Structure 1
Amino acid sequence: MSLFKNIFPKKKSRWRTIATVSIASLLGLGAFIAYEAHVTSYLSDDPQACVNCHVMTPVYNSWMHSSHREWATCNDCHVPHDNVFNQYYFKAKDGLYHASIFTLRAEPDVIFMREESEKVVQNNCIRCHVQQITQAKYEDWIESHKSDRLDRTCWSCHRTVPHGRLHGLTTVKYNIAPVPTNQTEVVIPEWLEKEIDESKTAAK
């Protein structure tokens, strides 16, 4: 009996140490991943957060060259604005989905919105352009859209707004994000910077 009492505290102490080290390791790994992924940037409305993933660079480039750049950021179109809780919930859910796909290298060449995202964007089109679609002179046009085209979205016709005609990772040879209006530094992914350096070295 005394032998059992002597062993039991050691076992308890050993498992406590293992649990503490495991939890600390997981927290440390999580903090490192959050730092490397620039997680805090996703809490802002800065469009540059989207090009943390290099596959989004063509989309960012096309937005930078559109008229929407002066009026709307990515979040203005791609997250709901009914309340702040739903906004950040949708952002987190969509962001985790994107991060998973990009981490697994399973992203398609051309990125399309999912059905849930389409509804959000459609609602935001109406939210921003409500004056145009409620003007009396457009009454007949609006009614025809309601009765004949219920399944259509704004971008069924306005296909090039705001992301242009060309989409996908292969549409631009070097997908380098242009200089933002409020910064002087060009955003270049590390892998692309390395490739450019190698091609310059080979050219010499």
Structure 2
Amino acid sequence: MKFNFQILPKSPKWRKTAGFFIAVIIGMGLFIAQEAKITSYLSDDPQACVNCHVMTPVYNSWMHSSHREWANCNDCHLPQDNFVKKYYFKAKDGLYHASVFTARAEPDVIQTKEASKEVVQQNCIRCHVQQVTQVKYDGWLEGHQESRTGRECWSCHTSVPHGTVRGLTTVKYNVAPLPTDKEEAVIPEWLAEEVKN
């Protein structure tokens, strides 16, 4: 009986190097995903919105509004008519927000885009359908019947649910990257020390 052993050729050096760099890229990706709390964006938790500090004043103003008891960020800012549309819109909007935040190009005053305005308007009507369409008496404000669904709700209700927030500098104690759901100031020790000096 004859055995024919063949010695396999050595694998090229580039395979080890490529494997090393692929492992580094995957490891860095997982580390960044963990640090950025990526999985939190799949939830309906409003605190996911304040992973980016520019949303802190918006979160804080919502936290002190009556809407906090009934609606979270996704209830107002995402389509609610079907699951696929909701998560597509969430991914598209989230990638836009993440790229703006990463590039440090966020504006001081955050404005809603046209697609978002349409979604918010539909959600206002969805939640307040009785107030909008089933009012028994319309004599108290002339022409209000046509205005109920024909224009944006916030053209009259400008301070709902975010109060008078217009930018990063309009909320008291807006120094924490985490939500301030307490009345007292959330000031990091290092900043309090700087203020004293």
| TM bucket normalised to smaller | 0.7 to 0.9
Name structure 2 gaps, 5 residues minimum.
1-8
- Tell me the residue number matched to 1:5: none
Q: How does 1:10-159 map to 2 (within 5 A)?
A: 13-137=12-136, 143-145=145-147, 150=150, 152-159=151-158
Secondary structure at the aligned position of 1:87 is classed as helix
Distance 2:72 2:108 in 1: 23
Distance 1:47 1:170 in 2: 21
- Tell me the residue number matched to 1:199: 192
Query: C-alpha offsets along residues 91-141 of structure 1, whole Å, 9 cap, x if unaligned?
Result: 111111111111111111110111111111111111111122221526785
Contact 1:66/1:162 (8 A) holds in 2: yes
Secondary structure at the aligned position of 1:45 is classed as coil
Distance 1:187 1:26 in 2: 40
The CA deviation at 1:143 is: 4.4
Distance 1:155 1:22 in 2: 51
Distance 2:195 2:45 in 1: 37
Pairs aligned (count): 183
Amino acid of the structure 2 residue aligned with 1:199: A
Distance 1:143 1:171 in 2: 34
The CA deviation at 1:172 is: 3.0
The CA deviation at 1:21 is: 2.4
Distance 1:113 1:201 in 2: 35
Amino acid of the structure 2 residue aligned with 1:116: A
Larger relative contact order, structure 1 or 2 (CA cutoff 8 Å, min sep 6): 2
More helix by share: 1
Distance 1:97 1:202 in 2: 35
Secondary structure at the aligned position of 1:75 is classed as helix
Name structure 1 gaps, 5 residues minimum.
1-8, 181-185
The CA deviation at 1:15 is: 3.3
TM-score, normalised relative to structure 1: 0.78
- Tell me the residue number matched to 2:181: 179
Contact 1:179/1:187 (8 A) holds in 2: no
* 86 and 18 in structure 1: CA distance in 2 versus 1, 3 angstrom threshold: farther
Amino acid of the structure 1 residue aligned with 2:173: Y
Q: How does 1:155-166 map to 2 (within 5 A)?
A: 155-166=154-165
Secondary structure at the aligned position of 2:136 is classed as helix
Amino acid of the structure 2 residue aligned with 1:109: D
Amino acid of the structure 2 residue aligned with 1:144: E
Distance 2:130 2:172 in 1: 40
Secondary structure at the aligned position of 1:137 is classed as coil
Distance 2:42 2:185 in 1: 19
The CA deviation at 1:187 is: 11
The CA deviation at 1:72 is: 0.4
* 90 and 187 in structure 1: CA distance in 2 versus 1, 3 angstrom threshold: farther
The CA deviation at 1:173 is: 4.8
Which aligned runs of 4 or more in structure 1 are off by greater than 6 angstroms?
A: none
